[in-house]
A and B are shown apart, each in its own frame.
Chain A
Amino acid sequence: MLDFMRDLLAPNRPRLMIKPDSAYSIKTPLVPANSVAGRSLVMVIAIMTFLAALTAGAATLISDASIDWRGEAASEASIQLRPTKGRDIEADLESAANIAAKTRGVASVKIYSKADSEGLLSPWLGQGLDLQELPVPRMIVLKLDTKARPDLSKLGVEIVSAVPGASLDDHHIFISRLGDMARAATMISLFIFILVVIALGIAVASATRAAVATNREIVEVLHLVGATDRFIAREFRRRFFSLGLSGAVLGGGGAILFFAGIKLLSNSWRATAGGDQTEALFGDFTLSPTGYGVVLLLIACVAGLTGYLSQQIVFRHLQQLNE
């Protein structure tokens, strides 16, 4: 049908070596790959995903650390002996320790020396005080078998009846307060995470809308050369999903690297007093499988959200074109 065209339009044009047809193929995505708007979108997504992954990681770290705190506190109990006039406190300590040691479910018993007991008060009273004249209570620490815990209420009754001035503390108040604090810390982290995710959604929607707007001409041309709305929306969803995935992998991967970096740093702090305190509070900064799972889920959700939003924005634009 078109044999006449070549001579009509370029009759005397010199012919160059022309490649075989098979050398040509469609390689370029219909929605441009490396536009300025696309790069900006990737950066916005990367930064917001990084922040969201940090808060998610922090929430799981605190939650995991609080389980460790509570576990440790629940695996111990303590007997406190107040000095009583006319009684030999060392003998009472031995009696209480013997009763505890014979109880089923108590793994080990350790009597704190007078110096150890006084040392426990130093954080509150300061160093260098002479406590000889003060009635400093003495402590016996019981390590409990976590698999076969002893009947602590029965043990408490036995000790109180055998040793006047003694009391058994099973740490339940401390554990309960610790649990409340850990829950509060996790809820605060979760709240910040939700805020960051909302901000992420808004930023992604706004940046996606801007990026789609720069491709409006492409939408119109595709529309007029016979592409269905579904085809156009699919092309945009595919392209923006890929942009979203790039940004989310950058941000989420950056957050995982950040936690790995903090873990390395914490190893070098370990020998210091501050390092020990930090490790006691937050563990060794190792993200748990749940933490990695949350970051991976975040990456998938961000990529999916970007693709979905671009599709909806393009559909809305096409609706305007069709009206």
Chain B
Amino acid sequence: MLSFENVGLRYGVSPETLRDITFEIAPHSFQFLTGPSGAGKTTLMRLIIMALKPTRGIINIFGKDTERLNQEEVTATRRGIGIVFQDFRLLDHLTLYENVALPLQVQGHEESSYRAEVTELLRWVGLGERVTAPPSVLSGGEKQRAAIARALISRPKLLLADEPTGNVDPTMARRILRLFVELHKSGTAVIIATHDLTLMDQYDEARRLVLADGRLHIFE
């Protein structure tokens, strides 16, 4: 599904932020991506969603070499990836319904084809009474769940979550983790970037990808 082969990344003339990164993500797999702050977790996530280009190495996503993709193909590939941003990145001028519907709206689907699905998903994540609320009035946990709903609405093959429990209390963090575990069981490959060891200890079956000093260490 996803593979990195000797990938390196440097910004300008500085030393490489990521060095010789090599790993594979299998379909229906679950992994934590961890490491100290500043180790490059978010940078690695940005490489996966093609928001950054590597300075060397090969990245294959869904069987395609990202270096060879034109802009339309990059967009099409990106549509198979759901992303939960660390800072949520909800659009404040849109309602919660409109935020969650965004990935389907930009793909040009008719609203009538996804209206029920969006409202149902919002109810599923416990935001059924906040459908028309703007993100600015939501708590951190509610924003987190809205961001998760937006990442899931287009039924991605791969879900990336960057510090998804960083803004919620431990109880909500446990619930969100269970949500990701259930998603994984239903067939979605999941990568969660976190430095929360307690969170990782709650799901021993997950693979651990540890970033340190720009290199990746894998613990199966």
Interface residues of A (CB under 8 A from B): 1-6, 8-10, 13, 15-16, 18-19, 21-22, 24-28, 30, 32-33, 217-218, 220-222, 224-229, 231, 321-323
Contacts and interface: CB of A to CB of B under 8 A. Distances in A.
Interface in B135-194: 145, 150, 152, 154-155, 172, 175-176, 178-179, 182, 186-187
11 contacts: A5-B182, A8-B178, A9-B176, A18-B123, A21-B115, A24-B97, A24-B132, A28-B98, A224-B51, A226-B107, A226-B154
B125 A221 contact: no
Contacts of A226: 75, 78-79, 103, 106-107, 154
B128 interface: yes
Given A26-B105, A225-B103, 9 more contacts: A5-B125, A6-B123, A9-B126, A21-B120, A25-B115, A221-B89, A224-B89, A225-B150, A226-B106
B93 A32 contact: yes
A32 B136 CA distance: 15
Contacts of B101: 26
B204 interface: no
A95 to B, nearest CB: 88
B45 to A, nearest CB: 11
Contact of A3 (B95, B105, B124, B172): B124
A321 B51 contact: yes
Contact of A218 (B75, B91, B116, B182): B91
Q: Which of A1, A221, A226 counts the most chain B CB atoms within 10 A?
A: A226
Query: Chain A: interface secondary structure?
Result: loop
B119 interface: yes
B166 to A, nearest CB: 17
A79 B112 CA distance: 85
Contacts of A19: 131
A28 B115 contact: no
Contacts of B129: 15-16, 18
Contacts of B145: 9
B25 to A, nearest CB: 19
Interface string B80-107: 0001000001010111011001110111
A231 B108 CA distance: 9
A44 to B, nearest CB: 22
A2 B186 CA distance: 9
A178 B178 CA distance: 89
Given A26-B98, A227-B75, A9 B186 contact: no
Contacts of B128: 6, 15, 18
A33 B93 CA distance: 9
A227 B105 CA distance: 9
B210 interface: no
A220 B85 CA distance: 12
Contact of B89 (A4, A10, A217): A217
Contacts of A13: 126
Contacts of A217: 89, 91
Contacts of A5: 121, 124-126, 179, 182
Contacts of B51: 224, 321
